Amino acid sequence: GAVVSQHPSRVICKSGTSVKIECRSLDFQATTMFWYRQFPKQSLMLMATSNEGSKATYEQGVEKDKFLINHASLTLSTLTVTSAHPEDSSFYICSARDVSGARWETQYFGPGTRLLVL
């Protein structure tokens, strides 16, 4: 089955530093990738929709200058948390939409990246 990978799986950083998270579709092309964050005991919250070759679409309340998204190829999207602060500590999950399948709704999730900002 289709696989989405994320790197790193876990990162601890100091407050004020920037952290980059990669999301890759390993065996399919993904023109659209989604970035979510999840706080403990809560459901996923969509942060932004990343489209290959164009600017990401951010959800209301998500700072685009804080969470930089780059979708440079059909298999890679990156999320950079700039000047991270402790309140950015969360679980970040990406998903990728397989547009080659018979059903456009097919979406695959990455394993997530746990970010801890000290």
Partner 1 sequence: KNEVEQSPQNLTAQEGEFITINCSYSVGISALHWLQQHPGGGIVSLFMLSSGKKKHGRLIATINIQEKHSSLHITASHPRDSAVYICAVWGETSGSRLTFGEGTQLTVNP
Tokens encoding 50: 């990343």
Distance from C-alpha of 115 to C-alpha of 19, rounded to nearest angstrom:
9
CB of 23 to partner 1, least distance (A): 13
Q: Quick check: 81 and 113 in contact, CB under 8 A?
A: no
- Closest approach of Cβ 104 to partner 1, in Å? 7
DSSP E strands, 28-89: 32-38, 45-51, 57-58, 67-73, 76-81
Q: How far is the CB of 35 from partner 1 (least distance, A)?
A: 12
- Give the CA-trace dihedral at 33, 95, 4, 102, to 10 degrees: -80
Choose between 52 and 82: whose C-beta lies nearer to partner 1: 52
The CB-of-33 to partner 1 minimum distance in angstroms stands at 10
Q: Which residue, 59 or 83, is less far from partner 1 as judged by CB?
A: 59
Quick one: DSSP state of residue 27?
Answer: S
User: Which two tokens mark 54?
Assistant: 């164009």
Chain residues binding partner 1 by CB under 8 A are 32, 34, 38, 42-44, 46, 49, 91, 93, 95, 97, 103-112, 114
Residue 43 vs 54, nearer CB to partner 1 = 43
> Which CB atom, from 10 or from 83, has the smaller least distance to partner 1?
10
